[in-house]
Structure 1
Amino acid sequence: MANYQILTPKPARVLVIVMRYLGDVLLATPLIRSLRLAYPDAQLDVLLYDNTAAMLAGNKDIDAIISTPLRVNCKQYGVLIKRIFRRYDLVVVTQTGDRPFVYGLLAASTRVSVVPAKGLTGWWKRFFIQRWIEFDNDDTHTVLQNLKLADLLGIAKNFTVVPPQIDNSASVIPFAFLPDAYVVLHLFPQWTYKRWTLEGWLAIASYLNQLGFRVVLSGGGAQEELDYIANIAQQLPENTVNLSGQLSLAELTTIIAGAKLFIGPDTGITHLAAATAVPVIALYGPTNPVKWAPWPYGFAENNNPFNKVGCQKVNNINFIQGKAACVPCHKEGCEQHRQSYSQCLDTLSIKTIKSVIDELLLA
Structure 2
Amino acid sequence: MGSCLSIYNTWGCPLKNQSIDFSQIQRVLVAKLRHHGDVLLSAPVFSVLKKYYPHLEVDAYIYSETLPMLEGHPAISKFVLYDKKWKKLAKHRRFLEEWKLLKEIRRGSYDLVINLTEGDRGAVAAKVSRAPYAIGFDPQGSGMMQKEKCYTHLIKHTPKPRHTVEKQLDALRCLGLHPKEEERDLFFHIPEEARLRVETLLHENGVDEGQFIQVHPVSRWMFKTLPVKTIVEVLHFLHDQGKQIVLTASPDPLERKMNKEIVSLAPFAIDLSGQISLKELGAMIKMSQMLLSVDSVPMHLASALKKPTVVIFGPTCEQNWGPWRNPGARVVTQKLSCRPCYQPGCGGSGKSDCLTTLSSQSIIQAVEEVLEFKVLSKVGCLSSLVSEEL
Q: Same fold (TM over 0.5)?
A: yes
Partner secondary structure for residue 174 of structure 2: helix
1:255 to 263, 284, 295: 284
Mapping of residues 8-19 of structure 1, within 5 Å: 8-19=22-33
Mapping of residues 247-286 of structure 1, within 5 Å: 247-286=276-315
Q: Deviations over 1:264-299 (max 9, x none)?
A: 1111221112221111111011112222212132xx
Instruction: Find out whether 1:295 has 2:324 as its counterpart.
Output: yes
Q: What is the CA-CA distance between 1:359 and the residue it aligns to?
A: 1.8
Aligned length: 343
2:369 to 346, 359, 363: 359
Change (3 A) 1:129 1:184: same
1:173 to 199, 209, 213: 199
Larger Rg: 2
Structure 2: state its 5+ residue gaps.
Answer: 1-12, 87-93, 374-390
Mapping of residues 107-126 of structure 1, within 5 Å: 107-116=129-138, 118=140, 120=142, 124-126=146-148
Mapping of residues 320-339 of structure 1, within 5 Å: 320-336=332-348
1:152 to 174, 181, 193: 174
Partner secondary structure for residue 104 of structure 1: helix
Say which is worse superposed, 322-331 or 187-196, in terms of deviation. Answer: 322-331
Aligned equivalents of 2:159 and 2:38: distance in 1? Answer: 13
Aligned equivalents of 1:66 and 1:167: distance in 2? Answer: 24
Percentage of identical aligned residues: 27
Q: Deviations over 1:307-355 (max 9, x none)?
A: xxxxxxxx2220111342312224332124xx62111111111111111
Contact persistence 1:11–1:39 (CA under 8 A): no
Q: What is the CA-CA distance between 1:8 and the residue it aligns to?
A: 4.4
Q: What is the CA-CA distance between 1:41 and the residue it aligns to?
A: 2.7
1:223 to 253, 268, 279: 253
Structure 1: state its 5+ residue gaps.
Answer: 298-314
* Partner residue in 2 for 1:190: 220
Contact persistence 2:329–2:370 (CA under 8 A): no
Aligned equivalents of 2:130 and 2:70: distance in 1? Answer: 23
* Partner residue in 2 for 1:37: 51
Aligned equivalents of 1:321 and 1:332: distance in 2? Answer: 17
Q: Deviations over 1:102-161 (max 9, x none)?
A: 012112423433324535556843333111112347422111111111112223423011
Q: What is the CA-CA distance between 1:7 and the residue it aligns to?
A: 4.5
Change (3 A) 1:122 1:8: farther
Aligned equivalents of 1:342 and 1:208: distance in 2? Answer: 25
Aligned equivalents of 2:103 and 2:192: distance in 1? Answer: 31
Aligned equivalents of 2:73 and 2:369: distance in 1? Answer: 34
Matched letter for residue 268 of structure 1: V
Q: What is the CA-CA distance between 1:58 and the residue it aligns to?
A: 2.1
Contact persistence 1:11–1:89 (CA under 8 A): yes
Aligned equivalents of 1:359 and 1:190: distance in 2? Answer: 28
Provide TM-score, normalisation by structure 2: 0.81
Q: What is the CA-CA distance between 1:186 and the residue it aligns to?
A: 0.4
